Structures are given as structure tokens and as C-alpha cells.
Structure 1
Amino acid sequence: MAYTDDDVTEMQDRCDDWLEREGALTNELFRLQLQVPRAREMMTHGVCRRLSDLKHGLQRVFEVLPPQEAEPTREAIWDATAFLQSFIINVFGVMDNLAWLWCLEADVRGPNGRPLHRSRIGLTPDNEDLRGSLSARTKAYLTGTDAWFGYLEEYRHSLAHRIPLYIPPKQLDDAAAAEFARLEAQVGGPDWDWGRWPEVIAAQRRLGVFEPVMMHSFGEGARPVRFHGQMICDFATVIEVAEHVLADLQGRAAPADRAG
């Protein structure tokens, strides 16, 4: 289903709001008086660099493949796919950067008093020790994002290890799918004229309609996700999680430090 003009306007307004909020967040992050050098590196070259990459990827997808584009070129789809893949990896990465930033600066330890193993440093629901060290407000917020973390892990793990996410060039209804299969069945066999191959490919490409969705594996039961709105949602969630961690870090500062 195509986006309406109102849908596009709303998405652009929301996108502009979150881009502005990201700028304010980044400024506050650079003002942090961190005591652990590795935490400073994780903030500067992890969190803030990835925020910049996410902002660029979000803007470029909207530029090369606008929400209302009905017949994008293959080059536009390839470019948008590359930005989408980078975006998903960096969304996942910035969550880990935030976890490391908090863990290092707050010196989070396990029940045995020893530093957390790197496999236990994260913000996902299974990282109970690190989540438990955050403020009640931040823990409550993260609990509300559990389903989102599930979606993120599904797409990130498939992208990194199994089937990379992609943008299907067309969506087929039952009639179009049957015609696609009929054309496919013509190919091959002892009497097949391979000179007709471009003709069959061209006929298949004319079938169906373009929908701005991303996928990974049909075999794994993945569902198509409309990526323009999802990217804004992901970007917004990153900003809100980072704001909560930032507030917890600021809360650790001495009153004199906060006054400066």
C-alpha cells in the first residue's frame, strides 16, 4: 500500500524532530566528565560515531529511495539496501557501545564481585547484571523495549551470519506469482532457446508492484517490514536509550561537577 502525502509529511516531521534531538544528545555526551579513559573512547568513537553514521544512513535512504517512489531503479534499491544494512549493524552496535560505556564508567561487576565477562555486557533482556545496575527509570524503559530488541537481534544476526536483509524489487499477489512461476517453468529443457532468456526476465520484472519493505529469509518466517518508518522508530529508540544512560552517568557526577 502506497504512502499518502500526509504519511510522508508526518514521517519527515518526526525524522526532523529526532535528528534535532540527536544533535542535543551528542553535545551532552561530549560534555560528560568521564573518569575512565576507555569509557571516553567508547563514548567518542563508539556511541557518537555510530550516531553520526545512523543519521547519515537515515537521511540517505530517504533521498535515494523516497517513501512514495513507485518504480525505483535497481541502482536505487541497491544503494538503499547498502545503507539499510549499515544502519541495522550500527543500531545494534550503538546499543553495545552504550552498555560498555556504562559498564566501564560505573565499574559494573557480577554477583561474584568480578568484572563482567564481555559476553555479559549488553542491554538486551538476558544481560541481567548490567541492566540491574542501571537506575529504576532506565530499567523500566529498557523492559518496555524487550520486543524491539527481539526484532533488532533477529535482523542483525541474520544480516551478519545468515541471510542479509534486502529490499524485494516487487511484491506479487497470487495471480502475479502464478504468472511468474509459469514463466519460470519455460526456462531450461533440451529444446529451450536461451536467446529468449532476456525476454522471460523482462516479463517477470514487469509483474507485481514495488513496496518499500525489507526482508531477510522467507524460509525463517521473517515478515516484511516497511523500512522508512522502522528506521525512524529505530533511530528514536537509540536516542531514548542513550538519553537514559546519559542521565544515569550524569547522576553519578558529584554536585560540584554537575554545577560546572
Structure 2
Amino acid sequence: MTRETTMPFNEFGFQEVEYERSYRQFAAPFLIEGNAANNLFFIHEAQQNHIYGVNNALLELTGDALTLLSRIAFTAEASHFCRFGVMRRLRMIDSSFKSFQSIVPPNRTVPLSQEQSDRVCRDLNAIYIDLLGLLDNYAWVAVHQLGSEATKTAKPLSIGLFKQAFAADPALKPIADALQPFSGWEKDVKTRRNPAAHRMPLYVPPAALTPEDIVEYERFEALISEALHAQEFDKLDALREGRRRVGTLVPKFLHDPGEPVIDIYPTVPEDIGQAVKIGRTMQTFFLEAGEAAARPR
């Protein structure tokens, strides 16, 4: 028997996507009261190992989604949403998250260049838009594979893993019930996704400047201006690089400058991890339902 067929769809083998597990293993045993530098080092270790766990879980989920297409007799419509919805979203989330973490690892303190800032903002917005899109893709696979005719012809905006029209379908109610532990997270993640899609895009500030940093920044500005005036162009690259390094990257993101800021870690990988757990629940449900339908009666 395969791992999927023996694992109920409301249980998970994905503890590695939970930051608390990484924190208990890689940080908590080594924290020393009053030693901020030591503690920050081990917290970064926990955050980095959490990222590794989420990367691995996402990769495994993507591979398992691909094998479903050969193991289950999907309807044409369900196969369409699995191939061109679920599979594309998973790959896009994986690509965006790897790009993001390569520029902003947990221990980075050097300010972002303009190019890096643009790239991480692009990746962050893509991640959150695709996370909610992924959940909708799973919902439509389920509807077209197992749902009633009334559910299949419902208004598109009424269909979602956490919406009443989905849970009201008797064939889909077991999976809707299994997903209820994620309903609070789904509401919370929408506070990050919805403004990114409809109002203010998510943004990672390139650097935070202290009063001393501002003085140093202005000093570099003056030196650059002097070099340009004197046509000492050979000095410009070094001066501009010095200016770029003024300040400290603070690993936070936000929508609007007037709103609260959010920690990048562990928030972003935890959000991806919760989507992975939902994906595992859905894919196990599809597999079990497909195998049940294929058994001789």
C-alpha cells in the first residue's frame, strides 16, 4: 500500500512546515537570557531550517500532484483544473519563494538594492496571489470530480474550499469538514493577499535608517555630487556602493506605510506551509475517493 492510501486525509506527515517545530529544535535549547546576539543567531537557524522544511514539503506535494493524474480517473474538467490550475500554481509558488529567499535569507542585514527590492516585492505579491488561487483550483478539481450538478453550475465566486456552497454539497462535505481547522488561517492570509490583489501591493522596505545613518547617507550624496562636478567618474561606483550599504535591512513587509508591519519570517513560509497541508489533505482525499470508486462492487 502507498503512503497516501494509509494516511487519512485529515492527518499530516508535514510537521516540518510548522515553525514551532523548528524553533523547539534549533533555537529554544540554545537561547541565553540577556545574550541577544547569541539568541538571534539561533533564531535565524530555526527560521532557515523552517524554510528548508517548507521547500521540501512543497516539492513533494508538487510531485504527488503530478502522479495523481496517472492514478485517478479524473473527469476532463477536473483534470483541466489539476493540470493548468493546481500544477501551475504549485510551480509558481515554488519559483517565487525560492527567488525571494535567495535575496532575503533570515540573517540578511545589508540593505536591498533597487533591483533586489523590485524583485522581492514582485515575488512576495506573486506568492500571496497564487496561494489563494491554489486553494480555488483545488476547490474546482473537487467540484468537477465529485460535486453535484447544482454545485458545478453554481456561480464561480460562490465556490471555494471554505465557502458554504462547497460545504453544502454532500459529496464534498467530508473534505470541507476536514479543512475547518484551516478556516482561521484562510481568513488571516486574505488580509495579506486581498490588498495585494485589489489595493496596495505588498512591499519590503529596502532598509531602515537611524539618525546616524541619515547623516552618513547625506555624506555619500555630497561626495557623489562632488565627484560628478569634478568629473572624477572613477570614484562613482565605490561611492554609490557605499551609499547603498547605509542602513540595515529589517525583515518586515507591509501594504501601506500607515498600517502595521509584518515579520517576513516565519510568516511567509508558514503561510506557504499551511497551503501545503491543505494541498496534502485535498490530494489524499482525491486519491482515496478515486480508489474507492475503482473497487469492484
TM-score range, shorter chain: 0.7 to 0.9
- Could you say if the C-alpha distance between residues 166 and 114 of structure 1 is closer, same or farther in structure 2, counting changes exceeding 3 Å? closer
Q: Residues 99 and 222 from structure 1, CA distance in 2 versus in 1: closer, same or farther, beyond 3 angstroms?
A: farther
Note closer, same or farther for the CA distance 1:258–1:47 as it changes in structure 2 (3 Å cut): farther
- The 1-side partners of 2:206 and 2:152 are apart by 51
Report the CA distance between 1:58 and its aligned residue. Answer: 1.3
Q: How many Å apart are 1:20 and its aligned residue?
A: 4.2
What SS is found at the alignment partner of 2:154? Answer: coil
* Within-5 A mapping of 1:1-260: 4=42, 5-74=44-113, 75-108=115-148, 115-124=153-162, 127-133=163-169, 134-136=172-174, 138-171=175-208, 176=210, 209-219=248-258, 221-226=259-264, 228-253=265-290, 255=292, 257=294
SS in 2 for 1:101: helix
What TM-score do you get using the length of structure 2 for normalisation? Answer: 0.66
- Give the deviation of 1:206 after TM superposition: 7.8
Consecutive unaligned residues of structure 2, counting only runs of 5 or more, are 1-35, 218-224, 227-242
CA shift, 1:108, in A, is: 3.5
CA distance in 2, matches of 1:232, 1:215: 16
Change (3 A) 1:114 1:35: closer
What secondary structure is seen at the aligned counterpart in 2 of 1:253? helix
CA distance in 2, matches of 1:38, 1:114: 10
**TM-score relative to the length of structure 1:** 0.74
Q: Cα distance 1:15–1:229, how it changes in 2: closer, same or farther (>3 A)?
A: same
- Rate the CA distance shift 1:206–1:53 in 2: closer, same or farther, 3 A: closer
Q: State the AA in 2 paired with 1:115.
A: T
**What amino acid sits opposite 1:82 in the alignment?**
R
Is the CA contact 1:215–1:222 (under 8 Å) kept in the aligned structure 2?
yes
Q: Take 1:66 and 1:258, find their aligned partners in 2: how far apart are those partners?
A: 48
Q: How many aligned positions are there?
A: 234
Please name the residue that 2:14 is paired with: none
- In structure 2, do the counterparts of structure 1 residues 48 and 3 end up closer, same or farther at CA, with 3 Å as the change threshold? farther
Structure 2 distance, partners of 1:35, 1:62, is 35
Specify whether residues 64 and 98 from structure 1 end up closer, same or farther in structure 2 by C-alpha distance, changes over 3 A only: same
Flag structure 1 segments of 5+ consecutive residues without an equivalent. Answer: 184-194, 197-203
Task: Please report the RMSD computed on the Cα atoms of aligned residues, expressed in angstroms.
Answer: 3.5
CA distance in 2, matches of 1:251, 1:11: 30
